[in-house]
Structure 1
Amino acid sequence: ASHGRGFWVLDNLAPIRQAEAGMTDAAVRLFDPPVAYRSADGVVLSYWLRDVPDEVRLEVVDASGEVVRTFEPEPEDEEDDGGGRYGQAGMPVEQGLNTLRWDLSADGWTPFPRMILWGVRTTAPTLPPGTYTLRLTADGVTETSALTIEPHPWIDDVTEADLVAQYEFGVRIRDQVERANQAVIAIRRMRTQVEDRLEDSDDARLEELIDELMSAAAEVEANIYQVRNRSGQDPLNFPIKVNNRLANLLSMVERGDGAPNDGMREV
């Protein structure tokens, strides 16, 4: 049996190695993470919370001072109506020691309810090698720590410049997916608001104008997203639209480590 030997492969020893007297008296403690390697299992981040805070977030800041990833608690009692399959994981918030496994991805694009896409495996590009700052803030108390991301040691034919180019290209695609999704979200919000207004109106002319507006908006929405999708297999029957094509391109760019090729750029 291997039960006994399992102890010797225990990972994430950072909290034990960095433990010190009085540590548990601190309201917040962010432990120094190990070096993280791209194309591996990511990194485990560990932090201590003396009490469950009312407000908490963990930010990843790059060398230029830009926040490239923000973790927040999962919303309580939020019903997943489909869009959650593309959402990024939140951070655990429990009294005591918390651990968060992070795949080194940046902030991703925003999904919307009942979204069904084809061939989409990620919503965000992976951060390039470099030194980053982890910033944990809980009820106004902030702790920081440095994180180093290095290239995968087994990949020797890809330069750091290639990985930066891959990341920057991925950010451009992510931002375009975000624009497309926000357009759909705005159209659906407007539709709901208009329907609410119509319930309180008996103006036939107003209803006619709104019908024309909603028809035009529906056409725009259908060009951005395949509105006929109801299940994961529906994209086999109905062609994917703009946001799916872009999201799929991002997944292709992120399939390995390397600069985007000409075909990806031409799309």
Structure 2
Amino acid sequence: MSVGENAPNGAMLHYVLPDTTSKEITLTIRDAKGDSVITYSSEKDPKGEPFTVDASFHLDSLHRPSPQALTKLKGLNTFRWNLRYPDAERLEGAVMWGGGTSGPRALPGTYSATMKVGTDSATVPLTIISDPRLTTSAADLQAQFDMIQKINAKTTEVHKAIKRIRTIKQQVSGVTSRFADLDTATSKPAKELAKVITDTLTSIENELVQTKAKAGQDLLNYPVKLNNKIASLADVVASADYAPTQQSIDLYNELSRQADAYLATIAWVESAKITEFNTAIDALKLPAVAPNKDGK
């Protein structure tokens, strides 16, 4: 049966290279004010992390390590901007039900795309046109956009906190294994502090993310936790082209309050208990737990 193919969803950007290049190519989308919306690269993802290639999978037909990578081939190249702002922080291995980390869609208006190859650059204008069938006001669409950004920012906070919890637990476990054979009286303070830190952080981690779920259907047996509740709220707000409802705003405020309480406890563990633990293991001539850097 012959079937048609829908046009690609997003802004199609075409560029011609005189030859295949080893130089990094970047594409920056800016809004009408000139503020950066998102930057794509041939070498890094939009968060600035180098692309990693999974050796167990083949690259796509364009030999890209990721759909977000710009191609660098001789002749005509094409890149599709999906009209979205950057995603919220992902949590590898986390199973989500009815929620994700996608960034909000860009609002109707004027934008620009600037491509750089080495020292050469070129800029073209872009215009996003509102669906003519919509009667939603610009103010309501802006309110929806702002709410999704706020929700994603909280999701990012929570996911970074979970990553930090796991880093601390790994470091504490590594240190405690090194003094397991030391004299009990000498190592007792450090062992007790290690247990308090590990137990406290594990308790918080289990409230922030469902650690038992390994596949989507597992969430039928194990309830979703706070990160999933927050992330799924973004999908609810984005489900129609309208301003967020008061119920969504109220739910966000409640979930955010819960998240902030857990984040405050993590900060207390780092400022108080980790400091005490580092003092205790310093007496044992062992390396300290590294401080948090850049909120990661």
The verdict on a shared fold, with TM-score over 0.5 as the criterion, is: yes
Tell me, in whole angstroms, the C-alpha distance in 2 between the residues paired with 1:166 and 1:262: 12
Partner of 2:111: 132
Give the CA deviation at 1:89. Answer: 4.4
Cα distance in 1 for residues equivalent to 2:92 and 2:6: 39
Please show how residues 25-174 of structure 1 align to structure 2 within 5 Å.
41-49=9-17, 50-73=19-42, 75-78=51-54, 89-96=67-74, 97-121=76-100, 123-155=102-134, 157-174=135-152
From 199, 214, 238, the counterpart of 2:198: 214
In the alignment, the residues of structure 2 paired with residue 139 and residue 198 of structure 1 have an alpha-carbon distance, to the nearest angstrom, of 49
**Gapped runs of 5+ residues in structure 1?**
13-40, 81-87
Whole-Å separation in 2 of the counterparts to 1:103 and 1:182: 25
Q: Secondary structure at the match of 1:101?
A: strand
Residue type of the alignment partner of 2:236:
M
Contact 2:94 2:210 in 1 (8 A): no
- In 2, Cα distance between equivalents of 1:10 and 1:117: 29
Cα separation, partners in 2 of 1:47 and 1:200, compared to 1, 3 Å: farther
Residue of structure 1 in register with 2:281 after alignment? none
1:187 aligns with 2:171: no
Quickly say closer, same or farther: Cα 1:224–1:54, change in 2 above 3 A. Answer: farther
Per the TM alignment, residue 2 of structure 1 is displaced from its structure 2 partner at its CA by 6.3
If the length of structure 1 is used for normalisation, what is the TM-score?
Answer: 0.75
Q: 1:210 to 1:126 in 2, by over 3 A?
A: same
TM-score normalized by structure 2?
0.68
Q: For residue 278 of structure 2, what is the aligned residue in structure 1? A: none
Q: How does 1:239-258 map onto structure 2 within 5 Å?
A: 239-258=223-242
Deviation for aligned residue 1:261: 1.5
Bigger CA radius of gyration: 2
Which structure 2 residue ranges, 5 or more long, are not aligned?
Answer: 46-50, 57-65, 252-296
Contact 1:129/1:163 (<8 A) preserved: no
For residue 10 of structure 1, report the CA deviation from its aligned partner.
10
Distance 2:247 2:195 in 1: 42
Tell me if structure 2 keeps the 8 A contact 1:52–1:93: no
RMSD: 2.7
Q: 1:201 aligns with which of 179, 187, 210?
A: 179
Report the count of equivalent residues.
227
